[in-house]
Amino acid sequence: MKITYYGHSCFLVETAAARLLLDPFLTGNSAAPVTAADVRCDFILCSHGHEDHTCDALAIAKANDATLIANYEIAEYFGAQGAKTHGMNPGGAWQFPFGRVKLTIAHHTSSVNAGLNPVYLGVACGIVVEADGRRLYHAGDTALFMDMQLIGRGGLDAALLPIGDNFTMGPADALDALDFLKPKVCVPMHYNTWPPIAQDAGAFARAALARGHTVNPLQPGASLEL
């Protein structure tokens, strides 16, 4: 399994059977090393509805004939616009051609068109992907919660965790999340895109190492092999 960071919370996960794009936010993301038109994928996984996690989902799904996997409301929303979708909900899992996907709880909101006309799109989720004998957790946008201990119970090869604070966990809570999850490696995400979520990922990595955890702050465009 190969993980490539596209900035913010967006990752390309390459398995032996498929290419998975997680939380596609490339258009308007100054850190993104690729454009939406560059991306080739077979499946798109969205943790929640906010545009910084879904803004390119429809265009990429249509261009690649890719299946979008998300909570039921997000799947229905994009399905009504012509995307192929597979709807799920927290606690549910499904075996796809590349492996197993399970949605977990996350403590956050989920909508599009915020402002005067928000469309609420179900609950925010985390995503666990099991493929090629590896287990990957993408936390989505979330606060710290005790049930992360249960997510880590089956062992995690990698955890992708937000550290930006303000909208999600900050570095201090993310350290506690690492104590709960105990992944082999953590890749921080959802930081430095805008001033309200500016963080020092290097300092987070050093603090995590002092508590016995390995953190790899990938630069956009960089990859990690599991």
Map residue 180 onto helix, strand or coil.
helix
Map residue 95 onto helix, strand or coil.
strand
pLDDT of 39 reads 98
Residues 102-112: what's their mean pLDDT? 98
d(C-alpha 189, C-alpha 202), whole Å? 12
2-225 is a CATH 3.90.1570.10 domain: no
Map residue 55 onto helix, strand or coil.
coil
Reported as a single tens digit per residue, the pLDDT across 15-37 is 999 999 999 999 999 999 999 99
Reported as a single tens digit per residue, the pLDDT across 33-69 is 999 999 999 999 999 999 999 999 999 999 999 999 9
Instruction: Determine which helix (DSSP H) or strand (DSSP E) holds 136, and give its type and residue range.
Output: strand 134-138
Reported as a single tens digit per residue, the pLDDT across 87-101 is 999 999 999 999 999
pLDDT of 166 reads 98
Cα dist. 127→165, 211, 212 in Å? 20, 25, 24
pLDDT of 84 reads 98
Residues 119-125: what's their mean pLDDT? 98
Q: Are strands 119-120 and 158-162 parallel, antiparallel or unpaired?
A: unpaired
Sheet holding 125-131, edge to edge: 93-96, 99-105, 125-131, 134-138, 158-162, 186-189
CB 215 within 8 A of CB 185: yes
pLDDT of 9 reads 98
Reported as a single tens digit per residue, the pLDDT across 130-176 is 999 999 999 999 999 999 999 999 899 999 999 999 999 999 999 99
pLDDT of 114 reads 93
Reported as a single tens digit per residue, the pLDDT across 180-226 is 999 999 999 999 999 999 999 999 999 999 999 999 999 999 999 99
Residue 173 token pair: 């809570």
Burial label for 24, CB within 10 Å (0-12, 13-18, 19+), is: buried
